[in-house]
Amino acid sequence: MHETADFEVQPRVARSRTIPIAAVAICIFIVGMIASAPMAANLASDVPLVSRLMPSRDGAGPAGPVMLPGAFTYQQQRPLSCEYASVHIATTMVGQSISEYEIEAAVPLSPNPHWGYRGDIMGSWGNTDDYGVYHGPLASGLAQLGIPSHAWYGTTRDDLTGELDAGRPVVVWLGLWGDGGSVDEYTDDGTRFQLTTGMHVMVAYGYDDSGVSITDPGKAVYKEYDWATFMSLWNVM
């Protein structure tokens, strides 16, 4: 599975930091709404943690590119641990480094990725049986580890750039195989949830007029997506 320094690591109890998490899916900003998959996260929503690494820009957009300091490449440790790897990247960027294994231990298992990790983390990427997890369980796990975060659905370009303007790396869920790979499944109690083939999670750490800068734990590389491509992949979720 594949959705962000020059900072000294601080004791986790010393500061309250929030990471944004964005979710792909329908247009709702309510944490806990189970409808589709997550697009992004503030480490507070669909998974990104928010840290004020740069000053906010009070209203008008930035005059030039926004690039958060401290972004780095990191190789996820298991075939399907991109969510946990992205949390590691984002939390490290805000001086509250959480390892893949720490956040994994705080997330339950569940057939519904809104409730816990779905499938075998050592499975093959791209299918919906061995799959991964959405922002809600990550936010809960981060709270257990002393890091506040929030997740949101139905995000827009302005939502993403607003978080980055405020200095917060954003964990994003992308549907890399495009439209047509999403299916609805149901829990035993009838709760509907969305699964998407080719789903991957990465960290957005910057942007400019041309597109978004990403660090991808799937291959430990930096990527640049133009806005049209990024939004299309983001909206698949």
Query: What are the chain's domains?
Result: 20-236 (3.90.70.10)
d(CA 91, CA 12): 11
Looking at every residue in the chain, the average pLDDT score rounds to 78
Q: Give the model confidence (pLDDT) of 38-57 as tens digits.
A: 544 443 333 333 222 333 33
pLDDT band at 229 (very low <50, low <70, confident <90, very high): very high
Exposed, middle or buried by CB within 10 Å (0-12, 13-18, 19+), for 160?
buried
Q: Give the model confidence (pLDDT) of 62-79 as tens digits.
A: 446 999 999 999 999 999
Asked if 26 and 235 touch (Cβ cutoff 8 Å), the reply is: no
pLDDT band at 17 (very low <50, low <70, confident <90, very high): very low
Q: What are phi and psi of 10, to 5 degrees?
A: -100, 155
Tell me which residue of 226, 181, 228 sits closest to 200, measured CA to CA: 181
* Residue-level pLDDT at 180: 80
d(CA 100, CA 142): 12
Bridge partner residues of 44 (DSSP) = 150
SS3 of 118, please?
Answer: strand
Q: Which whole-number Å values give the CA distances from 42 to 49, 162, 180, 210, in the listed order?
A: 5, 11, 27, 22
Between residues 204 and 26, the one the model is more confident about: 204
Q: Which whole-number Å values give the CA distances from 122 to 56, 80, 174, in the listed order?
A: 40, 6, 20
pLDDT band at 32 (very low <50, low <70, confident <90, very high): very low
Average pLDDT score over residue span 172-181 = 90
* Residue-level pLDDT at 22: 55
Average pLDDT score over residue span 167-191 = 90
pLDDT band at 97 (very low <50, low <70, confident <90, very high): very high
Half-sphere exposure of 84 (CA within 13 A, CB side): 22
d(CA 206, CA 202): 12
* Residue-level pLDDT at 85: 98
| Tokens standing for residue 223 | 């990527």
* Residue-level pLDDT at 132: 97
Average pLDDT score over residue span 107-111 = 97
Only one residue has tokens 């257990």, namely: 144
Choice among 21-30, 40-49, 152-161, 185-194 with the minimum mean pLDDT = 21-30
Task: Give the residue ranges of DSSP H helices in the chain.
Answer: 82-93, 100-105, 135-144, 157-165, 227-236
Bridge partner residues of 19 (DSSP) = 49
pLDDT band at 155 (very low <50, low <70, confident <90, very high): confident
| Tokens standing for residue 231 | 């939004």
Q: Give the model confidence (pLDDT) of 181-226 as tens digits.
A: 888 999 889 999 999 999 999 999 999 999 999 999 999 999 999 9
| pTM for the whole structure | 0.78
